[in-house]
A and B are shown apart, each in its own frame.
Chain A
């Protein structure tokens, strides 16, 4: 296990900047999720940590020691690839033993470690199978075993569950978290799935367009996103234009206390589920102009008397298009950004 520190890591391909001056500190034994959409640079960052790519600028440190120029084979930062990358011509045991063989460990030691890790991943009977004989979940476990048997300083998971069906994905998440805690591994999980990142990671780093926008716990990220981009990426929300005057943000929903300087151009962010909808009341009034059933909740498009159109997600009372309603929100749910 190692503490991983990225200092000003920048990556450029053909004059296109993939990663822009990233700083990140991952504690020893911590599981951090790198969350971002496709093309945001997540896998590039993972390969930089693993040493499969070299940064254009910046440093990668393990336990405070600069490993930027250390080749991948000596870095002990092992990736579990999205498509598992099990060697098709080797049995499960041979796949797991690959890294140990490369280290020239004795046959006896290799056999012992391989048998042990097969027990850990609960597939002791699959040692003689070939990868094409395994199910998706089994392949995933063997890929994990192949990485964990090397006792890596950092375990890097590159969208490891994206090829699995929903039920298997959930059980594999739980399995990986349990394994990470049991082995006390420093772990970086790359994913574009918010739910997966929130469920597994102690902290989530949001990577958008090559920039690390925010690193925080899942709860804080969701409730207090650092900016509009993060807010929009992490969940459906309303953006309300307004002004800040004397410590209060004024918008179509009223005035909300803020700790920001006065500004004529401010934006309030309110999650769909935080916009309360009622049949009547003294709050801001409007009418339902659209409705979409989404299973656990129903989303409503509400046109306020002021002309603003907002979206709310409600799971209790059902409204019809044309119904007169009033809307409100709690002060703590309103996030305000300058600009």
Chain B
């Protein structure tokens, strides 16, 4: 229902964020964020490491989850269409909170976790240290596993719905014209799926880039992702650290806003495809 106050309510979180970022900083005697604050933060090696690490984790998780999700969607279309159990089994990870998945990953993949214990029980390892480091590790495997567990089903469900809306007759026509199943997938379905995949790539990347609790709980002490770095700086007793935290927050917000704008453009593209009545998604 539309009410006059709705836009203000929707904009309230952004207003609070800006007030906390700039207003609070003023209240503690700082003159506000200036380009110098950004230069100082960007010149800091810890920030650069955090930025590269955050972008890398987000990019790897996005790449794997979108490729995996799209492949799973094709599999569902070809093999499992109409089988409710497949859909239900994908819905479960989507509705499960990230925090719960984080704990599951920790219990399964830690060096003292269930898999390590099974490996010990099977005689494959004799000591927890012999089990590969999959959580709190420098390669962020544990963090990426949490993202994949949530994001592969999400991408698969969205792509599956899109694939279903694309006329199956395109596939028949392609096969009839002499294309192999691989050519049909690559030349027909994948291009038609492109707008949807662009949207899922942006959504999954934005989430992985801005997520706090997963890297906070499963991250390595060697480096921090940007949201964790911002949190640590913000809770630091040194008031000067807050400027850096706010600068990082603004950087994260700017990148997220950029992604939101690209997503908005993509949505328009999808709407255009839908409107042309030719079976496009």
A26 lies within 8 A of chain B by Cβ: no
Select one of A51, A98, A131 contacting B177, CB under 8 A: A98
Q: Establish whether residues A102 and B169, one from each chain, have CB atoms under 8 Å apart when the complex forms.
A: no
A72 lies within 8 A of chain B by Cβ: yes
With both chains docked as a complex, state the minimum distance between the C-beta of A112 and any C-beta of chain B, in angstroms. Answer: 18
A67 lies within 8 A of chain B by Cβ: no
A296 lies within 8 A of chain B by Cβ: no
A85 lies within 8 A of chain B by Cβ: yes
A319 lies within 8 A of chain B by Cβ: no
With both chains docked as a complex, state the minimum distance between the C-beta of A89 and any C-beta of chain B, in angstroms. Answer: 5
CA distance A74 to B191 in the complex (A): 24
Q: Establish whether residues B173 and A74, one from each chain, have CB atoms under 8 Å apart when the complex forms.
A: no
Chain B contacts of A333 at CB under 8 A? none
Q: Establish whether residues B177 and A78, one from each chain, have CB atoms under 8 Å apart when the complex forms.
A: yes
A279 lies within 8 A of chain B by Cβ: no
Known contacts A88-B276, A88-B280, A89-B192, A52 near B178 by CB under 8 Å: no
Map CB proximity to B onto A61-88 as digits: 1 under 8 Å, 0 otherwise: 0000000000111101111010101111
Chain B contacts of A8 at CB under 8 A? none
Map CB proximity to B onto A96-112 as digits: 1 under 8 Å, 0 otherwise: 00110111000000000
Q: Establish whether residues A103 and B278, one from each chain, have CB atoms under 8 Å apart when the complex forms.
A: no
With both chains docked as a complex, state the minimum distance between the C-beta of B122 and any C-beta of chain A, in angstroms. Answer: 45
Q: Establish whether residues B170 and A87, one from each chain, have CB atoms under 8 Å apart when the complex forms.
A: yes
Chain A contacts of B183 at CB under 8 A? 102
Which residues of A in the span 3-60 have a Cβ within 8 Å of any Cβ on B? 50-52
Question: Who on chain A is nearest to B273 by CB?
Answer: A88
Chain B contacts of A74 at CB under 8 A? 178
Chain B contacts of A78 at CB under 8 A? 176-177
With both chains docked as a complex, state the minimum distance between the C-beta of A250 and any C-beta of chain B, in angstroms. Answer: 54
A181 lies within 8 A of chain B by Cβ: no
With both chains docked as a complex, state the minimum distance between the C-beta of B272 and any C-beta of chain A, in angstroms. Answer: 10
A132 lies within 8 A of chain B by Cβ: yes
Q: Establish whether residues A103 and B176, one from each chain, have CB atoms under 8 Å apart when the complex forms.
A: no
With both chains docked as a complex, state the minimum distance between the C-beta of B169 and any C-beta of chain A, in angstroms. Answer: 5
Q: Establish whether residues B277 and A132, one from each chain, have CB atoms under 8 Å apart when the complex forms.
A: yes
Q: Classify chain B: how many residues form its interface, as a range.
A: 20 to 34
B187 lies within 8 A of chain A by Cβ: yes
Which residues of B in the span 140-183 have a Cβ within 8 Å of any Cβ on A? 167, 169-170, 172-180, 183
Chain B contacts of A86 at CB under 8 A? 278
Q: Establish whether residues A88 and B192, one from each chain, have CB atoms under 8 Å apart when the complex forms.
A: yes
B23 lies within 8 A of chain A by Cβ: no
CA distance A146 to B160 in the complex (A): 29
B188 lies within 8 A of chain A by Cβ: yes
CA distance A186 to B213 in the complex (A): 67
CA distance A102 to B187 in the complex (A): 10
Chain A contacts of B194 at CB under 8 A? 89
Q: Establish whether residues B278 and A131, one from each chain, have CB atoms under 8 Å apart when the complex forms.
A: yes
CA distance A86 to B192 in the complex (A): 13
B240 lies within 8 A of chain A by Cβ: no
CA distance A76 to B175 in the complex (A): 10
Select one of A81, A89, A103, A132 contacting B173, CB under 8 A: A81
A189 lies within 8 A of chain B by Cβ: no
Among B172, B178, B192, B194, find the residue whose CB has the most chain A CB atoms closer than 10 A: B178
Among A71, A73, A86, A103, find the residue whose CB has the most chain B CB atoms closer than 10 A: A73
Known contacts A87-B188, A88-B276, A102 near B173 by CB under 8 Å: no
Chain B contacts of A146 at CB under 8 A? 177
B279 lies within 8 A of chain A by Cβ: yes
Q: Establish whether residues B179 and A102, one from each chain, have CB atoms under 8 Å apart when the complex forms.
A: yes
Chain B contacts of A92 at CB under 8 A? none
Q: Establish whether residues B177 and A99, one from each chain, have CB atoms under 8 Å apart when the complex forms.
A: yes
Select one of B170, B276, B280 contacting A85, CB under 8 A: B170
CA distance A110 to B234 in the complex (A): 63
CA distance A83 to B169 in the complex (A): 9
Chain A contacts of B276 at CB under 8 A? 88, 132
Known contacts A85-B167, A98-B187, A132 near B278 by CB under 8 Å: yes
With both chains docked as a complex, state the minimum distance between the C-beta of B22 and any C-beta of chain A, in angstroms. Answer: 46
Question: Who on chain A is nearest to B192 by CB?
Answer: A89
CA distance A146 to B179 in the complex (A): 13
CA distance A147 to B173 in the complex (A): 10
Question: Who on chain A is nearest to B278 by CB?
Answer: A88
Q: Establish whether residues B178 and A73, one from each chain, have CB atoms under 8 Å apart when the complex forms.
A: yes
CA distance A78 to B280 in the complex (A): 23
Map CB proximity to A onto B180-217 as digits: 1 under 8 Å, 0 otherwise: 10010001100110100000000000000000000000
Q: Establish whether residues B175 and A52, one from each chain, have CB atoms under 8 Å apart when the complex forms.
A: yes
Q: Establish whether residues B173 and A72, one from each chain, have CB atoms under 8 Å apart when the complex forms.
A: no
With both chains docked as a complex, state the minimum distance between the C-beta of A189 and any C-beta of chain B, in angstroms. Answer: 16
CA distance A98 to B180 in the complex (A): 12
CA distance A300 to B188 in the complex (A): 56
Q: Establish whether residues B169 and A85, one from each chain, have CB atoms under 8 Å apart when the complex forms.
A: yes
A150 lies within 8 A of chain B by Cβ: yes
Question: Who on chain A is nearest to B180 by CB?
Answer: A73
Chain B contacts of A89 at CB under 8 A? 191-192, 194, 280
Chain A contacts of B278 at CB under 8 A? 86, 88, 131-132
Chain B contacts of A132 at CB under 8 A? 276-278
Select one of B176, B178, B179, B279 contacting A88, CB under 8 A: B279
A sample of 8 cross-chain residue pairs with beta-carbon separation below 8 angstroms, ordered by A number, consists of A50-B176, A51-B176, A77-B176, A86-B278, A87-B170, A89-B280, A102-B178, A102-B180
Listed in ascending order, the chain A residues whose CB lies under 8 Å from chain B are 50-52, 71-74, 76-79, 81, 83, 85-89, 98-99, 101-103, 131-132, 146-147, 150
